[in-house]
Amino acid sequence: MPQRVDVVIIGAGTAGLSALRQVRKHTENFVLINAGPYGTTCARNGCMPSKALIEAANLYAQARTLEALGVRGTANLALDSGAVLSHVRALRDHYVQGVLERTCSLGERNVHGTARILGPHAVEVDGLHYESRVIIIATGSRPVIPEPWRALGDRLLTSDDLFELPALPSRLAVIGLGGVGLELAQALARLGVEVYGFEATGLVGGLTDPVVSERAIALFSREFSLHTHVQAELSAHGDGVQVEAGAQRVEVDKVLVALGRTPNTEALNLEALGLALDDKGLPPFNPETLQVGGLPVFIAGDVNAYRPLLHEAADEGYIAGCNAMCEPHQTFARRTPLMICFSTPNIARAGAPFTAMHTNSVVTGAADFDGQGRALMSGRDHGCLRVYADATSGRLLGAEMCIPDGEHIGHLLAWSIQQCLTLCDLLEMPYYHPTIEEGLRTAVRTTSKQLDTGPSASRGRACDRLPVKGLD
């Protein structure tokens, strides 16, 4: 006999645990099924350990620049990469422990195993059967590894095992320079690894704007050997790996595969839902309700591949958890898109990507951070910011950047976009001196100047609310 429950949640990651919090406001008759280790991808091998490694790398890199400021003795600094990785794991364990506390009190309602869906109300795990009013799918994603490369065994790394290494390799190739690949490639180079980065496109760090990406590539090429528009081929070579990519041929000890992630759907048997699946094996779902087709099934977090980021997984868990418990289902407005790559300079994207801009109705402005006053003081005056706005209303639509403190400027711009602010609104705000935000003002000003559409149109048309003409 199947056990009857109100809700089955599949996956105890960020999305699943966020859904659980909402579900528990209404019922204690649920089951949470999780395959693999507990603790969430974010805390165990995603956001948190990667940022801990990046922080260590940045501090070490900065320390080596102190000589020029008159600080003596830094030439004698030495790096113990095993100790760095132990430090990263200690921090990782701290974050994981915080998450485990949320599942360890669930008793029999916490089931460890791989869930298989048998129908819109039926789930099976290791011979246990559940009949559920609602199912929430939150099974996350895993790194993509091309099948032929698997023969390289432990010479191949992903973000799942990088942080488990006893020490860093001497020579490493990073294949794929999206957000995860780029930030790790730079951090490892800063920690003394001889890094070779390969990217099939001309876009790095999650950017879609080729102008910003070109700038970013030039900057990161100063720190490690970086090759774009190349397809890397791998083959075993002695104890290491030979990488061939275009005219490049290098031998390395290990390869970090950072080709993106694929939804964890195979084991779920989604065909049992009776809906057509797309080429990723995903059923149709509504991103504002997260309902799958018209079924009592919801899909949240990386598994739906809609916005595979931590804050979005938490939001989606919330939406799925709320809608699992209410009829009619509520439609939730999604937040303005925001993506950050924690490279130095930071890469960020706020609002709609450059690729979604239609040149006829959009104006673009930019700021160059070479020589930017505040950034120059800390030797960080590199990069550029591009801002996109509606050509008629001046409303801010999006921005892409590779600039110092881009993580903060990205937030300011995402918040402004969500508030439907115009370039004029942004120019009315105060800008303290000397700050990185002054660079943002330059970008907004140059964009605002593009709003002139004809001889009779003045810049004041877009900024006629400014209290004093010329203050923009």
Ligand X SMILES: Cc1cc2nc3c(=O)[nH]c(=O)nc-3n(C[C@H](O)[C@H](O)[C@H](O)COP(=O)(O)OP(=O)(O)OC[C@H]3O[C@@H](n4cnc5c(N)ncnc54)[C@H](O)[C@@H]3O)c2cc1C
Helix (H, G, I), strand (E, B) or coil at 461: helix
Does the protein bind ligand X through residue 35 (CB under 6 A)? yes
Helix (H, G, I), strand (E, B) or coil at 398: strand
Instruction: Among 13, 120, 351, 353, indicate the residue that binds ligand X (CB under 6 A).
Output: 13
Instruction: Among 5, 7, 9, 15, indicate the residue that binds ligand X (CB under 6 A).
Output: 15
Instruction: Among 41, 186, 346, 447, indicate the residue that binds ligand X (CB under 6 A).
Output: 41
Q: Which residues contact 212 (CB under 8 A, 6 or more apart)?
A: 347, 354, 384, 385, 386, 400, 401, 402
Instruction: Among 189, 203, 250, 268, indicate the residue that binds ligand X (CB under 6 A).
Output: 268
**Is 357 in contact with 388 (CB distance < 8 Å)?**
yes
| Helix locations, 191-342, DSSP H | 210-220, 310-324
Helix (H) or strand (E) holding 30, with range, is strand 30-34
Instruction: Among 33, 168, 174, 207, indicate the residue that binds ligand X (CB under 6 A).
Output: 33
Does the protein bind ligand X through residue 226 (CB under 6 A)? no
**Is 435 in contact with 441 (CB distance < 8 Å)?**
no
Options 41-49, 79-87, 186-194, 278-286: segment touching ligand X (CB under 6 A)? 41-49
The smaller minimum CB distance to ligand X, of residues 261 and 374, is found at: 261
- Give the span between the Cα atoms of 467 and 472, in whole angstroms: 10
Does the protein bind ligand X through residue 248 (CB under 6 A)? no
Does the protein bind ligand X through residue 301 (CB under 6 A)? yes
Options 90-98, 195-203, 263-271, 387-395: segment touching ligand X (CB under 6 A)? 263-271
Residue 426 sits at the vertex; the CA angle it makes with 420 and 428, to the nearest 5 degrees, is 125
Two structure tokens written together for 85? 């990785």
The smaller minimum CB distance to ligand X, of residues 10 and 255, is found at: 10
Angle between helices 310-324 and 14-23 (to 10 degrees): 30
Least spacing, CB of residue 183 vs ligand X, in Å: 8
> Residue of minimal CB distance from ligand X?
13
Does the protein bind ligand X through residue 36 (CB under 6 A)? yes
Does the protein bind ligand X through residue 40 (CB under 6 A)? yes
# binding residues, ligand X (CB under 6 A): 35
Interaction residues for ligand X, span 403-432 (CB under 6 A):
none
Does the protein bind ligand X through residue 299 (CB under 6 A)? no
Does the protein bind ligand X through residue 114 (CB under 6 A)? yes
Q: How far is CA 220 from CA 26, 188, 196, 438, in A?
A: 50, 12, 11, 24
Q: Classify residue 202 by its DSSP letter.
A: S
Residue 300 sits at the vertex; the CA angle it makes with 303 and 411, to the nearest 5 degrees, is 95
- Give the span between the Cα atoms of 191 and 185, in whole angstroms: 10
Least spacing, CB of residue 220 vs ligand X, in Å: 17
Angle between helices 210-220 and 179-190 (to 10 degrees): 20
Instruction: Among 236, 267, 277, 377, indicate the residue that binds ligand X (CB under 6 A).
Output: 267
Instruction: Among 7, 115, 250, 451, indicate the residue that binds ligand X (CB under 6 A).
Output: 115
The smaller minimum CB distance to ligand X, of residues 13 and 345, is found at: 13
Two structure tokens written together for 422? 């115009």
Does the protein bind ligand X through residue 310 (CB under 6 A)? yes
For residue 328, is the peptide bond before it cis, meaning its omega torsion is within 30 degrees of 0?
yes
Q: Classify residue 291 by its DSSP letter.
A: B
Helix (H, G, I), strand (E, B) or coil at 239: coil
The radius of gyration of the chain's CA atoms, rounded to the nearest angstrom, is 25
Least spacing, CB of residue 159 vs ligand X, in Å: 4
Least spacing, CB of residue 130 vs ligand X, in Å: 12
Options 95-103, 209-217, 305-313, 373-381: segment touching ligand X (CB under 6 A)? 305-313
**Is 265 in contact with 139 (CB distance < 8 Å)?**
yes
Give the bridge partners for 257, in sequence order. Answer: 175
| Residue located via tokens 């939406």 | 319
Instruction: Among 139, 291, 442, 446, indicate the residue that binds ligand X (CB under 6 A).
Output: 139
The smaller minimum CB distance to ligand X, of residues 259 and 451, is found at: 259
Does the protein bind ligand X through residue 14 (CB under 6 A)? yes
Least spacing, CB of residue 262 vs ligand X, in Å: 12
Least spacing, CB of residue 38 vs ligand X, in Å: 7
Tell me which residues touch ligand X (CB under 6 A).
10-16, 33-36, 40-42, 46-47, 50, 114-115, 138-140, 159, 180, 264, 267-268, 301-303, 308-311, 313
